[in-house]
Structure 1
Amino acid sequence: MKYDYKRRHLRAGLAVFFGIVLIFLAIPWHTQASTEFNYDVNSVYIVNSDSSTRVEESYTVSNNADNKYLDSIQLSTPVEDTKNISVEYTDGTSIPFTVEKKTADNQGYNYEYSEISIKFSRRNVGRNSHWGFVVSYDTNKLIETKGSAHTFNIPSVPQENGSDYSVEIVVPENFGTLHTTGTRPIKIGTKKGQTRYKFENKQQLKKSILLVFGDSTLYEVNYNFPLKNDSSFGSTFTVTLPPNTSGQQVIVQQLDPQPKSTSLDPDGNILADYDVPPRTNITVKTNIIGIVSYLDYNLNASGTKAEIPKDLVARYTKPQQYWPSDNPQIMNKARELTADKKTVAEQVRAINNYVVDTLSYNNEKIKYNIRQGGLKALQNPSNAVCLEYSDLSISLLRAAGIPSRMPIGYGYSGSLKQSNSVSDSLHSWVQAYVPGIGWMNVDPTWSEKFNNFGSSDLDHFAFAIWGVNDSRPAPVMRNGGDINYQYEATTISYRSTPPVLQPQSQLSVNKWLVLPFIALTKYDIQAPTDTAGDNYVLRTRQGSRVDVADLGSLAPKQKITRWSAVIGSTAFGSLNADFTQNGNNSLVLASTKVSSVGWPMWLVIGLLTGIIIWRVVRSNLKRKPTSSEEIAKPITAPIPTIQNNQTENEPKNEKRAKK
């Protein structure tokens, strides 16, 4: 199926809508009015090492009427694979129930759940009477295992007066560090390898909370980029590979066939160039591992706008087609939102809150989506998907003088993912630069569901970053133009163990003596084969002299050449060269030692000598006589000419004979 290029970023945004639906289904539905009964609910989720979960929900019912009792109730679970279900009064007496598997449909997406219908056999009558029952079941679908990480969605609960809710979670101790998008539960303690956490009241669960156990997860991405050259001329195709970010490390395990060259663009995207002959089709196959780390940003470390580097301001606050930061309406709104905020983090939060409160997600838009841009999103707030949330946020941030850009990529949407193709879950979000923190991920679309500001979760994996340009680089480009490839043949999965990195770099050095005490050196460098990196350094040692050249950021297998000249006695000695990262000698990627090659010097000396001799000889050949040379010449007297009166017609010899 072919997707519209702009449409591909919308799929993950639907997770917000359906997540809200599932939250609603998880709340008990009562046959009587809520004013007649109050419910105190304590839910306990006991998670096993294989992520299977035992759910125990204890209900305490309080009767607010004199002559009414609770006859029946229907409870809808957030999963459909409920098994080993039991319903009992608190004294252990069984309560009859039935279970029905149901399917709900919305906008073409189906999800399944179990509905438990309970018929109470006891008639508990009387105002202020209290009684209880317990519902228990097993499920394998409450915990999402994502490689080495585990996530658990705690649904929001009703906030009406008279009822209360508490939630306890028991997980294996080896699940690792707990991160959360909202209120952090209290850690009760660890016993027999199990750690117990608790949310004590409903105020802590006003919004859904995503619990993440583990510091990182591993994505395995397989792109299949089609390079189709149907023309009669050769073409250069460029494929875009994911960038490294503060929370994402990319390892390129396979890139087949090998590209002509690789490079990094200003946003850090890896670009691989291929020359494709006329009438030729090539499929570039990749295997990429993405290590995504959970980040909790220290918002208290935020600086002010005066501390933002000027080069970032110049590059990432410019207006673009979809980010009209110079529009008066956008500028006025940005000024209004940030006027009383001192730090950049406070300003980013204010803009994010405004976008979340102003825009409404339109599920219908996926059918006909056309990217509107920030201004139209502001003017038509009810017709938004993730692109509009991102475009409006970036427009306002740039208008406020805050560098910002847009990652596009994969947004995990759980059971909503309908196929193996990643195009079902493409998403866009925002990165804002905060001094003291760096580039900070902000997802205004998902903020409607989770209070995720100030953290970067494990559910986002950037395929590319748009910053210098608001719609480039595209996944595949031909001679710089977008061919409208939409990741249709891309698959993504999780893996539990990271690959063993064996970076292979190359460093070749040639040092030539060109004149006595003058040497010229050429360095040919190839970056590590499997990952892009920053802060690469070339360190050289010649005698007591040490030189360090900053090479900056390099793409996997990127090739560069550097030259240097040495004047002095060290020109004759050997040279030690190290290709390192971060300027740390412990991270030497490649090294070599070479001695000066003397034949160029003798060649140069020979040439210079020949030139000098030739010029001397040539000069001597062209020299004019000097005055001294003229004086030295012998003086020869001229022979006088004898004049006579012979006629011109008479031969001289005949005249001599007559005499």
Structure 2
Amino acid sequence: MPFRPLLLSLVLLVLTTTAALAAEHEDPFATSVHTTYTVSLSGNTTVSHEFSLKNKTATSYVSQYAIKSPLKNLTKIAAETNSQPVQTEVTESENGTTIVLTFDDQVVGENKTRKFTLSYGSADTAIISGNVLELYVPSIADEQQYEKRSVTLKTPLKFGRATQITPEPEAVSFTTSTAVTNFPDLGKRGVVALFGDTQFFSLTLRYNLENSSSAPGITQIALPPDTPYQKMQYHSLDPAPNKLHLDQDGNWIATYEVGPSSAVAVYLTAAAQVHLWPSPEIPQPTVLASHTQKQKYWEIDEPAVLDVAKNIQTPQAIYDYVVSTLTYNLPGGSDPFPRKGALAALADPGNAVCQEFTDVFIALARANNIPARRVTGYGFNSNSQLRPLSLQTDILHAWAEYFDSQRQQWRQVDPTWGNTTGGGDYFSQFDLNHITFAINGVSSVTPYAAGSYKSNSFQSKDVEVELLDQFVPFEPDFTISLEDRRIFGIALPGLYTINITNNTGQAWYGLSASITTNSTNDEIAVNATNTEDTILPFQTLALPLLITSDQVQLPQTTQLLVTLSLENDYNTTKTFDGAQTGLALYHYLNETTITLILVGSFTIGTLVTGSLLVFRRRR
């Protein structure tokens, strides 16, 4: 009886694997495969498929086996069966690479099994960025039937076990240099794995500030802030701002004075530490009433928005809707291209970029009374097609965050990348590639992110981001000084200001100031007002201080002890000699009242003195 050779083709796609059988009989083989992905420290991956094809009939056997992959530049392609090399024919085209295996022998007979391996190297299966490894295993299409499919991931031990992985592995083990993650029965599913929970970046930012008027101008810029998922270290900020403060959305706002008809270029060099889990050190931003209200670009009272919102009332449902409804399409032409807003994006879902994905998510969330905000910043990526950066000016990106009322925390989501990666989960599993520059919640527009402060007279690259190997923690370093508070240029006993200057480029939290005196006189009291518990990089906090005495007598001299404490058990004490007390009356008056009393006293004194002079002259 003649035997019928069959050609078995396995077509591998980037995210989906499809197998097709060219045969007269349906499923003439029981197929199982075990695939091992071995990732090197450089990110190159060796893929090894171990196939087992058992004949279901007595008249069929495999003479050729073909694999087609969209990946190009595959290296070290090799196949063998029974420890003997198998001839391979490799063809590369615009659509990828096809590998055809031709077997010299025949494995004939029902229940007979052909076993063979195919291995190759790829630089595109795994991505190593600094301290993070991302690995993707394709899924199998429905028409391909495997009796068993198992997968093993072998990754460098320096990245540890996977911090985010779907689905959950059956087992994880470790050797002296490798983490081994096993999926003994993966079925048709793929694997998305992230190794590492922290990433470090180096930032160089430029802000171009221009004042074309004939009078001095005041302008403000947003510096990259700490967030629950991001820790900043400033190495230099030149020139120093006139003022630095924290706004309602947690932005770090620097104020500069720009002279008439002049320009100032502000340079910031910094390091950013991005982590997967919210840091307990950094407070969660306060949820405000404005975070659920209508804003420009977030038209939550429009019927077209409300009609959609009423059917999707959870953050997950809103995210899924945005990802599946909008289509990423970067318009032609040069920047800037206009921001449409949620209403216009819903009317034209086929032409959206990151700001439309973000605006629609926020509008639908707010329409359901879910607090939501816009985050603008930088999306670090190695594939601009899968993870595009489309916000106008420089190479910025926009994504959203919503407040999770159950976890009592703000959570970031990126529906744009959820759409462009073809199924990447940027809702329940965020990544380490998003660097926050500014947060828009109270306003849908301001503050503007770094990269938006362009010069009218020249072009410049204002955002540079690179990976860092490490993030060296700063130690607290404060300068404490005491100065007189002066009214009409007069220093009044008992009225002082304590200036606390942060000499580091890092924010510190849980700051408290304890001010005491070494006097044994129970009638000397110290009253200081400290409403800030956070001090920003290079910021100076001014604490009004009042020292009073119940004695109606000349000012007394005392010694002050100022102790600063942080939540991390840090504390330092500075001593000031020669501080003078004021009257106890000061304790019950505010500075405005004291000023009015002094003005009145000065006026009365002047009038009395003038009257005496006139009286004397008349005599």
**TM-score for both structures, normalised by structure 2:** 0.77
Q: Secondary structure at the match of 2:84?
A: coil
Q: Assess if the C-alpha contact under 8 Å between 1:243 and 1:270 holds in 2.
A: yes
SS at match of 1:551: coil
| Distance in 2, Cα, partners of 1:55 & 1:548 | 65
Conserved in 1, the CA contact under 8 Å of 2:133 and 2:194? yes
Letter matched to residue 14 of structure 2: L
> How far does residue 503 in structure 1 lie from its aligned partner after superposition?
4.7
Counterpart contact for 2:207–2:454, Cα < 8 Å: no
Provide the secondary structure at the position in 2 that maps to 1:416. coil
Q: Which of 430, 450, 463 in structure 1 is aligned with 2:400?
A: 430
Task: From the superposition, tell whether residues 239 and 549 of structure 1 become closer, same or farther in structure 2 (CA, over 3 Å).
Answer: closer
Alignment of 1:19-168 (within 5 A): 22-24=14-16, 27=17, 30=20, 32=22, 36=27, 39-61=31-53, 70-77=62-69, 79-89=71-81, 91-103=82-94, 114-123=97-106, 130-160=113-143, 162-163=145-146, 164-168=148-152
Can you list the C-alpha shifts for 1:399-452, whole angstroms capped at 9, x where unaligned? 121211011222233243899x99786322211112333111122233342234
Distance 1:558 1:275 in 2: 17
- Alpha-carbon displacement from aligned partner over 1:167-202 (angstroms, at most 9, x marks no partner): 211223332242125222222422344321122334
Are 2:561 and 1:576 aligned? yes
The secondary structure found in structure 1 opposite 2:415 is coil
- Asked if 1:456 is matched to 2:437, the reply is no
Equivalent-residue separation in structure 1 for 2:381 and 2:332 (angstroms): 16
Indicate yes or no: 2:464 matched with 1:491: yes
Q: Say which SS state the counterpart of residue 350 (structure 1) adopts.
A: helix
2:292 aligns with 317
What count of residue pairs does the alignment treat as equivalent?
563
- For 1:159 and 1:322, how far apart are their aligned partners in 2? 42
| Shift in CA distance, 485/591, structure 1 to aligned 2, threshold 3 Å | farther
Measured in 2, the distance between the counterparts of 1:573 and 1:28 equals 84
Q: Give CA-to-partner distance per residue, 1:485-538, whole Å, 9 cap, x none.
A: 9984422111111134255433212368999x9722212232343123444333
Do residues 441 (structure 1) and 412 (structure 2) align?
A: yes
Partner of 1:257: 239
Tell me, in whole angstroms, the C-alpha distance in 1 between the residues paired with 2:203 and 2:486. Answer: 49
Larger radius of gyration: 1
Does the CA-based 8 Å contact 2:560-2:579 persist in structure 1?
no
CA distance in structure 1 between the partners assigned to 2:194 and 2:323 by the alignment: 23
Q: For 1:50-97, what per-residue CA distance to the aligned partner results, in whole angstroms no more than 9, with x for missing partners?
A: 5443321122335678866555444345654533321112x1221111
In structure 2, C-alpha distance between the alignment counterparts of 1:297 and 1:223, rounded to whole Å:
25
Q: Deviations over 1:282-330 (max 9, x none)?
A: 44332221101122899xxxxxxxxx99x72412111111111222443
The one-letter amino acid paired with 2:126 is I
SS of 1:363 mapped into structure 2:
coil
Is the aligned partner of 1:394 residue 2:385? no
In structure 2, distance between residues paired with 1:159 and 1:365? 35
Query: What corresponds to 1:557 in structure 2?
Result: 538
1:148·1:496 contact (CA, 8 Å) conserved in 2?
yes
Q: Which amino acid aligns with 1:555?
A: L
* CA shift for structure 1 position 38: 6.3
Shift in Å, 1:576: 1.5
> Take 2:482 and 2:606, find their aligned partners in 1: how far apart are those partners?
35
Following superposition, the deviation at residue 217 of structure 1 comes to 1.0
SS of the equivalent of 2:309 reads: helix
CA distance in 1, matches of 2:98, 2:86: 16
- What is the CA–CA distance in structure 1 between the aligned matches of 2:367 and 2:433, rounded to whole Å? 29
Q: Which has the higher strand share?
A: 2
Aligned-pair identity (%): 23
Matched ranges for 1:115-514 at <5 A: 115-123=98-106, 130-160=113-143, 162-163=145-146, 164-202=148-186, 205=189, 209=192, 211-229=193-211, 234-278=216-260, 280-295=262-277, 312-338=287-313, 347-357=314-324, 359-363=325-329, 365=331, 370-416=338-384, 426-435=396-405, 436-448=407-419, 449-475=423-449, 488-510=461-483
Alpha-carbon displacement from aligned partner over 1:604-636 (angstroms, at most 9, x marks no partner): 99x98998899599679969xxxxxxxxxxxxx
Greater RCO, 1 or 2 (C-alpha within 8 Å, sep 6+): 1
**1:519 matches 2:494:** yes
- Unaligned runs of at least 5 residues, structure 2: 1-11, 584-596
CA-CA distance at 1:44 after TM superposition: 0.5
Q: Which runs of 5+ in 1 are unaligned?
A: 1-19, 105-112, 299-307, 339-346, 624-659
**Cα contact 1:69–1:123 (8 A) shared by 2:** yes
SS of corresponding position for 2:364: helix
The residue type paired with residue 272 of structure 1 is A
Partner of 1:108: none
Shift of 1:136: 1.4
Deviations 1:534-559 (A, max 9, x none): 44333322359786723144432223
Counterpart secondary structure, 2:166: coil
Could you say what secondary structure the match of 1:136 adopts? strand
Question: Normalising by the residue count of structure 1, what TM-score does the alignment of the two structures yield?
Answer: 0.73
Alpha-carbon contact 1:52-1:143 (below 8 Å) kept: yes
Question: How far apart, in 2, do the equivalents of 1:353 and 1:525 lie?
Answer: 48
Q: Distance in 1 between matches of 2:361 and 2:384?
A: 26
Question: How do 1:593-604 residues align onto structure 2 when only pairs under 5 Å count?
Answer: 593-598=575-580
How big is the alpha-carbon RMSD for the aligned residues of Structure 1 and Structure 2? 4.4
